[in-house]
Structure 1
Amino acid sequence: MRVVVAPDSFKGSATADEAARALARGWLARRPGDDVRLVPLADGGEGTLDAFAAARPDAERRTVTVPGPDGRPVSAAWLLLPDRTAVLELARSSGLPLMASPDPLGAHTYGLGAVARAALDAGATRLVVGLGGSASTDGGTGALRALGLRLHDDLGRDLPLGGAALAGLAGIDTTDLRPAPPGGVRLLVDVTAPLTGPAGAAAVFGPQKGAQPAEVTLLDTALRRFAGLAGGDPDEPGAGAAGGTAYGLAAVWGATIVPGATTIAGLVGLPGALAAADVVLTGEGRFDETSLTGKVVGSLLDSAAAAGVRVAVAAGQVAGPVPGSVSAAVSLVELAGSVDAALGDPGRWLTEAGALLAGRLST
């Protein structure tokens, strides 16, 4: 059989590439004669860069030191493809794990803009930016300031970095803003949240970054003030991604907001791989009803159904009924006997899952 192994990352335990290799190892142990192709996937959040690197061995990996979300220097990797497309991952420069301690009001995305600037300096003619795992709620203003945007108060003074400072915003100066690359900027998002309001960036994601109720209100007010001056469409689905970074880059820099899972699948060659496949093996940390709402596995199920390809799923946990579009599903927790055991040796249990699924789909 021709098999495509295309999982998402198992967050906290295995990258998409690690998961793909383990699943393939198990499958081939049971069916060594099969033609197995690895296409690890992502949705625009953490793991996006690794998915691209695994699927595109012709990509050149580069690293630049930039200010992290709390100002401390971080080493951020990015990819340059042969066609001069640069792939950036916000989590590498401005992600929550990079913070020494939570700072929901002052954390910023300046590092992301610094990486984008480095990519443009290196000759990139198009940017693909994975948005996810953000530490801040600054509307992407930090990134834009790294690219030359000036934000000032009513006395003409430059604002401090961070989302809270936007409450004092009086003017936006784009005079020195670096132009977007000629091929454009595509923002990969995995949420449909608008910029502001009860379903917006501050209300939904602010608490995950340490924001207390009063701070959520302040950040939402600050983002509304920014939107009032920047224009654009703060209600566009996905505008609230990465603390509103999607909105800011779209409104001020002309970037395009796109669904991360389907866009990455196209860019790494999944449609062509499915067209030649008999079976696709995918997986994620938890497979449940939310998996079908635009996430990696749900998007892949749709693509596989359109291509007439059978699907097998290996997940850390399988919760609820398995949809009819899935031919077989395996839970790593059930294989291992407990959550701790599954997390303790994910490679082993992913390999066992691959072998088990190979047996179930042999006919």
Structure 2
Amino acid sequence: MAPDKFKGSLTAAEVAGRVSAGLGVPTVELPVADGGDGTVDAAVACGFERITIEVTGPTGERIPASYAWHAADATAVVELAEASGLRRLPGDREPLTATSYGTGELVADAVRRGAGRVVLGLGGSACTDGGAGMAQALGARLLDAGGHDLPRGGAALRTLDSIDMSGFMDISGVEFVVASDVDNPLLGPHGAAAVYGPQKGATAEDVTTLEAALSRLAAVATQTHGLLGAPERRSSRRESEGRANEERSGRDHEHEHDDMPRPMGVAGAPGVGAAGGVGFAALAFLHADIRPGIDYLLGLLGFGAQVEGARLVITGEGSLDEQSLRGKAPIGVAQAAAKAGVPVIAVCGRRTLTDEELQVAGIEAAYALTDLEADPDRCMAEAGPLLERLAARIAADHLEGK
């Protein structure tokens, strides 16, 4: 059992438990996530410890937020949505002033605890600040021309003049990995402000403001690039940037009619536009490696060892649709299971993918709650019992007599 959450209805662990109950055969439950909402829950369900501290929410309020901790290998899993997610907003969305500061506080706590590796799951963010808030929480000072600290939030970055790293937290010896399922750059028509700003309440005018602000952050960070972080890690960063540039050049023809030029350097690396540009700060300030979220987390959670000897893998998520094909958890699970030669079935709340699309993705069949209940509200409210009924069907179709 390796499902993602059914958003707004069941956690990944609850999905796994319900389907296991309905199957009536021995199962191994390994709830998964792709780096977004539910990543910490998935890690905790697989044996990590939940660490909860008080941090700064996206609009400045103090809130409790958690990260997952595995003492045996000193690994922390930090989920941006825990501290800086849309679900943390107390009221209306604040696209110009929302901050990633609380995410930086989670990272700082993990480093102080002795983390040798910090996995940063990006997704579901409320902010478009390029990760500036996260950097501020770790000790970077973002200054205007008068030497004054900038207020938090994306819009304030328009007046950024310099970055003072003298008080930045010592992160030498810590490996940072960004787990993300998007490949957007920081700037341009495919960037953080243009693509994701409207989802966070940004108007067309706000998007223009945020684009200018992120561009300013990228320019100033590039000027001080030699100061950003541990010197011994710069060579690996340059190598990763080189690989990113090679990958990007191969795709440039896809954007040859864009009205805006393609961003270059760190700002143009695939994935740095994730979570309102927090991916950019992770690369520039933490020298993180950006990895496909579900692939990396499957490895972290030990999927390869668990799938050996299984007769069937059951994965799923709330909506099995076009977005699922772009690196979401069920497809990653299917690809990983294929390497072990184990067939894959999916469960979901609803699905829009055809049988042919599913099979190309490595999923033999999909079972949706809407197959049993046409009312979507009842599907949400009664997801658990309905999943158990679907599981009984799966057992009859795929396990009986085997």
Q: Place the TM-score, normalised by the shorter chain, in its bin.
A: over 0.9
Hey, what's the Cα distance between the residues in 2 that align with 1:114 and 1:289? 35
* 2:300 matches 1:267: yes
Q: What is the match of residue 177 of structure 1?
A: 168
Q: What is the match of residue 24 of structure 1?
A: 20
Letter in 1 for 2:342: V
- The runs of 5 or more residues in structure 2 that have no matched partner are 223-264
Q: Could you say which structure has the higher helix fraction?
A: 2
- Aligned counterpart in structure 2 of residue 342 of structure 1, from 374, 379, 388: 379
Letter in 1 for 2:382: D
- Aligned counterpart in structure 1 of residue 321 of structure 2, from 258, 265, 288: 288
Hey, what's the Cα distance between the residues in 2 that align with 1:241 and 1:180? 22
* 2:393 matches 1:356: yes
Q: What is the match of residue 74 of structure 1?
A: 63
- Aligned counterpart in structure 2 of residue 88 of structure 1, from 78, 81, 84: 78
Match of 2:114, SS state, is: coil
Task: Tell me the matched-pair count.
Answer: 352
Hey, what's the Cα distance between the residues in 2 that align with 1:265 and 1:185? 17
Percent identical among aligned pairs is 42
Q: What is the match of residue 284 of structure 2?
A: 251
Q: What is the match of residue 34 of structure 2?
A: 43
Q: Are the equivalent residues in 2 in contact too, given 1:88–1:127 (CA < 8 A)?
A: yes
Q: What is the match of residue 306 of structure 1?
A: 339
Match of 2:267, SS state, is: coil
Give the drift of 1:333.
Answer: 1.3
Give the drift of 1:278.
Answer: 1.6
User: After superposition, where does 1:30-179 map in structure 2 within 5 Å?
Assistant: 34-56=25-47, 59-82=48-71, 83-100=73-90, 101-179=92-170
Hey, what's the Cα distance between the residues in 2 that align with 1:155 and 1:304? 57
Q: What is the match of residue 232 of structure 2?
A: none
Hey, what's the Cα distance between the residues in 1 that align with 2:100 and 2:398? 46
TM-score by length of 1: 0.94
Hey, what's the Cα distance between the residues in 2 that align with 1:109 and 1:288? 29
* 2:303 matches 1:276: no
Q: What is the match of residue 192 of structure 1?
A: 183
Q: Please identify runs of 4+ aligned residues in structure 1 that moved more than 3 A.
A: none
Q: Are the equivalent residues in 1 in contact too, given 2:181–2:326 (CA < 8 A)?
A: no
Match of 1:354, SS state, is: helix
Hey, what's the Cα distance between the residues in 1 that align with 2:19 and 2:100? 35
What are the superposed Cα offsets for residues 226-282 of structure 1, whole Å, 9 maximum, x if unpaired?
111213511111110110001112112212211111111110011112222121011
Hey, what's the Cα distance between the residues in 2 that align with 1:249 and 1:337? 43
Hey, what's the Cα distance between the residues in 2 that align with 1:329 and 1:273? 22
- The runs of 5 or more residues in structure 1 that have no matched partner are 29-33
What are the superposed Cα offsets for residues 318-359 of structure 1, whole Å, 9 maximum, x if unpaired?
213122232332110121232111111111111111111111
- Aligned counterpart in structure 2 of residue 10 of structure 1, from 6, 14, 18: 6
Letter in 2 for 1:279: L
Q: Are the equivalent residues in 2 in contact too, given 1:7–1:282 (CA < 8 A)?
A: yes
TM-score by length of 2: 0.85
